[in-house]
Structures are given as C-alpha cells and as structure tokens.
Amino acid sequence: MDALSRLYEVVCDRQKNPQEGSYTCYLFEKGLDKILKKVGEESAETIIAAKNNDNNELANEICDLLYHLTVLMAQQNLPVEQVMDILDQRSKKIGNLKQFHNVDKNS
C-alpha cells in the first residue's frame, strides 16, 4: 500500500473515530469551509516555496497540501482509489499531445 492510501485510511479512521486533540478531527468538526480554506492556504504556500527555489521547503509544503487534499477527499466521500485510478489512466496518456484551440486574443 502506498503512503497516500495509508494516509487516507488514517484520515477516514479519524473521521469515524474522533480522537481528542487530533488536528484531523478538528478539521472535520469545523467542516467543509475550513477544509477548503486550508487547501487554499497550502496551495499558496506551495507556490511560494516553489518561487523561493527551496526544494526542502517545497517538499514539506506539497506534503501539507496532499494531507489537506486527503482530508477533503474523506469529507466529500471520494475514495482515494478513484483518484488513483484517474492518475493511472492519465499516466498512460503521457506523450500524447493535445490539440489546443487557437484563440484570437485580440477579440
């Protein structure tokens, strides 16, 4: 089992079996708006870390973002397997060039 699947299991367990002092339980208690706010914050912090050209900071921010996205998946009852299946399908398309629409930016 990969790390993301293990994380998803822990997050879902916290959702079903709340534990006092758990940050994950706090997020579920506060609800979707709080979870979405944290996803947005972590996205911005990931962007800043990338712009700062600090791979250690970037790796940590990506982990924070993945954690909050995992909480969001659990909140929305989106199985991690569904996301992983889509990633798997997309990985098979690597190398296929998309046709982009030509857009007249002067209009």
The CATH number assigned to the domain with range 3-78 reads 1.10.287.1080
pLDDT tens for 26-72 read 999 999 999 999 999 999 999 999 999 999 999 999 999 999 999 99
Whether the CA torsion 105, 47, 14, 8 is positive or negative: it is positive
Q: Are 72 and 36 in contact (CB under 8 A)?
A: yes
What is the model's pLDDT at position 91?
86
φ, ψ of residue 22 to 5 degrees: the values are -80, 125
pLDDT tens for 2-21 read 999 999 999 999 999 999 99
φ, ψ of residue 101 to 5 degrees: the values are -75, 140
What is the model's pLDDT at position 92?
85
pTM assigned to the model: 0.84
What is the model's pLDDT at position 1?
58
- Measured CA angle at 6 (ends 5, 12), to 5 deg: 85
Per-domain residue ranges of the chain:
3-78
